[in-house]
Amino acid sequence: MDVNTQCPRCAAKRNSIVRDGFFYRADDAKFVQRLKCKACGKKFSTATSKPTYRQKRRRINHTIHLTLSFGMSQRKIARLTRVNVKTVAARLVWQAQLSRKKNQHFVKQYIERYGPIATVQFDDLVTFEHTKYKPLSVPVAVVAGTRLPIAFGVASIPAFGHLAKKARERYGKRPDNSRAMRQSLFEQLVTVLPPTVHFETDGHKHYEELIKRYFPAATHTVYTSDRSAVVGQGELKKNTFDPLFTINHFLATLRDDINRLARRTWCTTKDPMRLSDHIDLMIDVFCDYLEQRWKRGKGVCPHKSDVVHA
Ligand SMILES: [Zn+2]
């Protein structure tokens, strides 16, 4: 029994909880300790407080988490793990909830270990829900050099360019939530970044406005974007040197790792919330990968790169 075990009903502490037999859980072939609260008589088990409580297919969780972040479609994962596609969809939501907390913690840990973040790169990735006539904007902020994602958001935007007129005809006026979303991102960033941080963005006017408002002491460099290369899903540029390489490389990784963000795929986002969940999941796996690299002394040393950019 865990020292932190407490009664789910009356929150009585460890010393008023006694063992009360076992039960066998066929799902992962484990014996689970039953418990009883002496104070209120509530019976429960060590499984009650676990995030996997009441799941019927525990063993697939890790596989689903990884494959969702390795560009596999939900239907393929359902076939691989031999569960219903609705189970996979449900686990995506479930896992995202855990990943979101883990990701926030990871950023905090990073700052504790390597000091305050010196340079941040910002950009928007554009994708769509169900049809190209309903685009979505995904603003993302990463640490320059180390590719550590700090914050992102998903917002609906009206169709633009040659699709704009037809989109209005078919689906009516589409709200533009991207400004509100970028603003809420900055509200998050204020809690994480030091006031003297350096920003690198493309020529988007709204970034400039927000940086001035939320980080009056910060510096800001604007880069104009170049033509895209064929590799890198349109995010990597043709030029030999791209000053916004970190963010563009991360956006390209997103497109490759999250199957619904890939170009020319028949997997599309149906619900912007699920896209947000999926990105959280992918960032979780990606941060694990970054940490492994740093531990082996590979990749960009986070500390050094921050010093270079400062
Ligand atoms: Zn109790």
Tell me, yes or no, whether 155 lies in a domain: yes
How far away, in angstroms, is 6 Cα from ligand 1 center? 8
For the domain that residue 302 is a member of, what is the CATH number?
A: 3.30.420
* Beta-bridge partners for 24: 31
Q: Are 203 and 224 in contact (CB under 8 A)?
A: yes
Q: Would you tell me the crossing angle of helices 272-295 and 61-68 to the nearest 10 degrees? A: 90
Do 83 and 209 share a domain, yes or no? yes
- Distance of CA 11 from the midpoint of ligand 1 (Å): 6
57 within domain boundaries:
no
Whether residue 58 is contained in a domain is answered as no
In a domain, 167, yes or no: yes
Instruction: Give me Rg for the CA atoms of the chain.
Output: 23
pLDDT, one tens digit per residue, over 32-85 is 999 999 999 999 999 999 999 999 999 999 999 999 999 999 999 999 999 999
CA of 40 to the centre of ligand 1 (A): 4
Same domain as 31, residue 102: no
- Show the tokens assigned to 67: 């494959």
- Are residues 288 and 156 both part of a single domain? yes
33 plus 85 within the same structural domain: no
Q: How far is the CA of 20 from the centre of ligand 1 (A)?
A: 14
What pLDDT does residue 179 have? 93
Structure tokens at 133: 């006539």
Residues 15 and 78 in one domain: no
pLDDT digits (tens, 9 = 90+) for 204-234: 889 999 999 999 999 999 987 665 555 566 6
297: in domain: yes
Q: Are residues 76 and 106 both part of a single domain?
A: yes
56 domain-assigned: no
Whether pLDDT at 113 is above 90:
no
Q: How close is the Cα of 15 to the center of ligand 1, in Å?
A: 11
| CA 10 to ligand 1 center in whole angstroms | 4
- 29, 171: one domain: no
Bigger pLDDT: 88 or 231? Answer: 88
126 and 262 belong to one structural domain: yes
Considering the domain architecture, whether residues 163 and 258 belong to the same structural domain is answered as: yes
Are residue 100 and residue 41 in the same domain, yes or no? no
- pLDDT of residue 307 exceeding 50, the answer is no
Q: How far is the CA of 17 from the centre of ligand 1 (A)?
A: 8
Within this chain, do residues 241 and 132 fall inside the same structural domain, yes or no? yes
Ligand 1 center from residue 49 Cα (angstroms): 14
Angle of the 178-192 helix axis to the 85-114 helix axis, nearest 10? 40
- Provide the pLDDT confidence category of residue 309 given band limits of 50, 70 and 90: very low
Mapped onto helix, strand or coil, the DSSP state of residue 96 is helix
CA of 13 to the centre of ligand 1 (A): 9
Q: Is 172 helix (H, G, I), strand (E, B) or coil?
A: coil
What distance in Å separates the CA atoms of residue 93 and residue 95, rounded to the nearest whole number? 6
Distance from the CA of 24 to the center of ligand 1, in angstroms? 23
Residue 192 to residue 259: CA distance in whole angstroms: 30
Domain that holds residue 155: 63-309
Q: Tell me what percent of the residues of the chain surpass a pLDDT of 70.
A: 92
Count of structural domains, the chain: 2
Task: Give the residues across from 124 on adjacent strands.
Answer: 139
**Quick one: pLDDT at residue 296?**
82
Kindly state whether residues 22 and 79 are assigned to the same domain: no
| Token pair 């686990």: residue | 91
Distance from residue 47's CA to the centre of ligand 1 (Å): 16
19 Cβ contact list (under 8 Å, min separation 6): 1, 33, 34, 35, 36
Mapped onto helix, strand or coil, the DSSP state of residue 43 is strand
Q: Would you say 60 and 83 are in contact if contact means Cβ atoms under 8 Å apart?
A: yes
